[in-house]
Amino acid sequence: MTKKVKIRPYRKFSVEFKKLRVKEYESGEYSVSELSRIFRISETSLYQWIYKYSTYQKQKSILVEMKDSSTKKLKDYEKRIKELEQIVGQKQILVDYYEKMLKIASDDLGIDLKKNLDTKL
């Protein structure tokens, strides 16, 4: 019995793509770990791109990231996601309520209001 192994295809990134990721890092928009998760690129590759294409970083310098800023940013994102999930939940409750009211009205009138949009009053 043979086991099938899934081989991940080799990805090659263009110079423009690499420079754009470095620019996003330099602007402070994303940290290296965030870029790594978003684009599924190893942090090692990102650091190599930063050393190669960054105007600020040179190969012999040490790159230090502020963990607090990326952690704070991640917590802000999680808070925003929680707020959006709450809003979606409230909207779903309203949709369920309207569907129930429509069903009750259909049962009282004896007409299927969902299917007959041109129902005469």
The pLDDT tens digits for 14-50 are: 989 999 999 888 888 888 888 999 888 898 999 889 8
Residue 76 and residue 33 share a domain = no
Return all residues near 47 (Cβ < 8 A) that are at least 6 apart. 32, 63
Question: In terms of residue numbers, what domain contains 78?
Answer: 66-112
Residue 71 and residue 50 share a domain = no
Residue 56 domain-assigned?
yes
Return all residues near 53 (Cβ < 8 A) that are at least 6 apart. 15, 18, 19, 22
CB 54 within 8 A of CB 26: yes
Residue 54 and residue 72 share a domain = no
The pLDDT tens digits for 68-92 are: 677 788 888 999 999 999 999 999 9
118 confidence band (pLDDT: 50, 70, 90): low
Dist. CA 121–CA 115, nearest whole Å: 15
Residue 2 domain-assigned?
no
Residue 75 and residue 48 share a domain = no
Phi, psi (degrees; rounded to nearest 5) at 31: -90, 170
Around Cβ 50, how many Cβ atoms within 10 Å? 19
pTM: 0.44
Q: For the chain, how many structural domains are there in total? A: 2
